[in-house]
Amino acid sequence: MLSAAHDILKKQESENGTTTFTLSVDFHGRNSSNSSRYDCNPISTAAVLLADILPTLIIKICAPFVIHKLPYGIRVLLCAVMAATSFLLVSFSSAVWMSILGVIFASFSSGLGELSFLSLTVFFTRDVLQGWGSGTGAAGVAGSFLYSGLTQIGLSPQTTLLIMLVVPVTMLISYFFLLVPPPSLPQWKSRNYVAVSSEDRRRLVDGHLYGYMIIPLGSCDQGLLKFVIPLGVVYFAEYFINQGLMELLYFPNFYLSHAEQYRWYQTLYQFGVLVSRSSLCCLKIRKLCALSLLQVVNAVLLLFAVRYQFLCSAWVVFPIVFYEGLLGGAAYVNTFYFISKETEDRQREFAMAAASVGDSLGIALAGLSAFPVHRYFCNL
């Protein structure tokens, strides 16, 4: 959906002469609706980002306290149904609001899925975290690469998104027929006897999340905040680049059109994520704050590049966004690896789910920050 963001917001005259917002756009021309040197869309791609992340954030904040009452089998079914609904809504949309609604369904599917599968990892050996990291990285590459590749060879975005319906079907097949669940994992009944008690949940949250909000930052070397804050900063900088700056890094004399440049930025970013999320077997990074700092430097560099236009070609941007993906993927997979390693057994399932709010909160703040940036540059 984020790879399609530039297309979702494109404005086109439909065949009957009325003005609509659709996904069938001219991929080889500029946006004729404005004369800015940045060739801006009327609406920032951050609008799609917010629709993509806010429902996920709501789920991640609220669900860890009640989600154990919903069996894993039902959660996976809900994820698949919402994902399929998302692809259908966006592919057949005739207005921006309908496309955004489709993105919201994708967000609910993504949020529930991430929270549920991270919790599921506690039923298996710790090695599955490497599989989770590689799988989520590969999902980003597959989604962005297929979307970019299929539209590049001439398929319409509608057709491309309908092809993507194979994803929720594959998800159901892989979960219910390929995955071998351990005996301790009940598929169709709630897990009150396995879940952390309400008192333990309250203590974990009060002692490790909210409690540290009111004391000096130097004391944040315990509990979940030492993981949540660096992860949130990395993802804030990352998605500020992806949805706030990438669409403005436009090179009119490059052989790719504006929409194509944007798609391949997203694809190369996802390749970087895949590589670093798959690196846990050979490299573990405990100093997550260093990754946060490097990603912020990335964001500042590209912000100045947009303002002063000192980068000469998209070829220069391509390795930068790949490197950006490397940092983001490394922060993600190492965060959850060390949470799994350092959290007590009876608190681990809840902690894995609760800590996943860090990346979503950072992404949501990035989306909000991208709007004034988009407005400022598009008015130059």
Element (H, E) at 12: strand 11-13
Give the amino acid at 340: S
Distance (Å, whole) CA 98 – CA 19: 15
Domain boundaries, the chain: 1-12+42-179+220-379
Tens-digit pLDDT string for the chain (380 aa): 766 766 766 633 333 344 333 333 343 444 544 556 777 766 666 777 788 788 888 888 887 777 778 888 999 999 999 999 999 988 888 777 888 888 899 889 988 998 888 888 888 887 888 888 888 888 888 888 888 888 888 888 888 889 989 999 999 999 999 988 888 777 777 665 444 455 554 554 444 444 333 333 335 335 678 888 999 999 999 999 988 898 899 898 888 888 888 888 988 998 999 999 888 888 888 889 999 999 999 999 999 999 998 998 999 999 999 999 999 999 988 998 888 888 777 777 777 777 778 888 898 898 888 888 888 888 87
Q: Name residue, tokens 């077997």.
A: 281
pTM over 0.85: no
Residue 323: how many CB atoms within 10 A of its CB?
17
Distance (Å, whole) CA 183 – CA 311: 56
User: What is the reported pLDDT for 204?
Assistant: 47
From the centroid of its chain, how far is CA 134? 15
Q: Name residue, tokens 């917001």.
A: 9
Pair of tokens at residue 38: 């940045």
User: What is the reported pLDDT for 321?
Assistant: 95
CATH of domain 1-12+42-179+220-379: 1.20.1250.20
User: What is the reported pLDDT for 45?
Assistant: 65
Closest CA to 270 of 290, 251, 246: 246
